[in-house]
Amino acid sequence: MYSTYELNPKQEVDLMVATTSVRPDREMVMDFTIPFYYDTSTLLMKKPDPNEKKLFILAKPLRWEVMVCTAVVLVVSAFFLCITEQLSPYYKVHGTQGQQDFQHSFWYMFGALLTQGGESVPKSPSGRTLVSAFWLFSIVLVGTYSGNLIAFLTVPLDKPPFNSLDEMIAQSEYKWGTIGGTFFVTWFNSSTVDTLQAVWAGIKKFNETDPEVLSPDPNVHIDKMYREKYVYFGDKVYMDIRKSNQCDLMTAEEEIPNNFYAVGLPNNSLYTKTFSDQIISLQEGGILQTFKEKHWPKSIFCFAPSGLQSKSISLIDLQAAFYLTGVGIIAGLLVLIIEFVFYYFANKCCNNLNRDKCVHLRTVATNPKIVDACHQENNGSEVLFESSSTGRENAFTKLKTNHINEI
């Protein structure tokens, strides 16, 4: 191609019809007609393996901002429920049975968030009003999360790791390159745009240890994408041809309009205007577009999955759920150990100071089928048990005792 540019100033070439891009330096030695094809430059890369990040698929339906706000709402709602329960006059009239502290409020709210509820619903009207509002919040959040999770599990999303040059130079996982000895090298090297300068600086850095990033053969760049995480920058027209039959390739969304293909003529040629007028006629009549649709490679092998087709959920899709169960088991065992240690030292400390203050740390043996509540009279000599048997819902048994040391 460059030999043609060398011959043209000598008037040895009358016409050049090829994929020749119009450049200022070339226009100094030859004439160009108006462009007959406008092309852009973009990034070509291999589609990421969809199974690489399925470990975190349970977190994909919600952005991290939503997760943080949900955690804040959970803690704040539990706090206000606890305050509401403590200040409500309901329990002053009906007794404190069922009144919730912060621990019970938090676990009840957490259960409601998972649509499981808790041990008991607050009995005060103010507490139930607050919980009802939190129920509505949980229904909306869980419904949105469930719908998005189903979409993530059943519909494959071919999303590139980045969609622009700025995003590419901001990461360190992928290397990039372009065709050596072409316009792109001159374009990057002479550009004053910060992004393009950063792209060229990266290419020069990679070229020190890997000369393939500036290989003149496009096939080398394509093969390199299959061996490692690599991005090829070049003409989109060539990339569309490669993508037509290689379904595991994809391009970025950003396209740079920097290629204009035209017919080359000698300097000051009398035929420049004639060819330009004919190209305009072909464009206005749609003939060039017809030729493109007829002869352009079509994507006959890469079909997008139909929305009516069902996708079986594999084990790797749900691996995060199994891992989460394992984490829950381990966390439960750790908390159990912490409980044993805490109660052991707390009981030991209380016994050394004052045995009467450690009543709350002692174990109470009860039969849940017979005894539901225990009421101790003010004189400390009579204990009243309320029976919960089916046939004795309103029966009471009085036990007389002189000394009660443990309950």
Banded model confidence at residue 108, pLDDT cuts 50, 70, 90: confident
Contact, 36 vs 263, CB < 8 A?
yes
DSSP assignments along 2-61, one per residue: HHHHHHGGGT--S-B-SSPBP-HHHHTTSEE-S-SEEEEEEEEEEPPPTTTTGGGGGGTT
Contact, 231 vs 175, CB < 8 A?
yes
Residue 407: what pLDDT? 38
* Alpha helix segments (H runs only) across 95-124: 102-113
Q: At what angle do helices 183-190 and 194-207 cross, to 10 degrees?
A: 120
- Residues with Cβ within 8 Å of 43's Cβ and at least 6 positions away in sequence, in order, are 160, 162, 165, 168, 176, 231, 232, 233, 251, 252, 254
Measured distance CA(132)–CA(150) in Å, rounded? 27
What sign for the dihedral angle of Cα 120, 121, 127, 133?
positive
Q: Which fold has domain 2-51+159-295?
A: D-Maltodextrin-Binding Protein; domain 2 (3.40.190)
Please give the class, per CATH, of domain 54-154.
mainly alpha
The domain spans of the chain are: 2-51+159-295, 54-154, 321-356, 363-407
> If you average pLDDT over residues 193-215, what whole number do you get?
91
Q: What pairs with residue 400 in β-bridges?
A: 382
Is the pTM higher than 0.95? no
Summarised one tens digit per residue, pLDDT across range 216-263 is 998 999 999 999 999 999 888 888 888 887 888 888 888 888 788 899
> If you average pLDDT over residues 124-139, what whole number do you get?
81
Lowest mean pLDDT across 77-81, 194-198, 343-347: 343-347
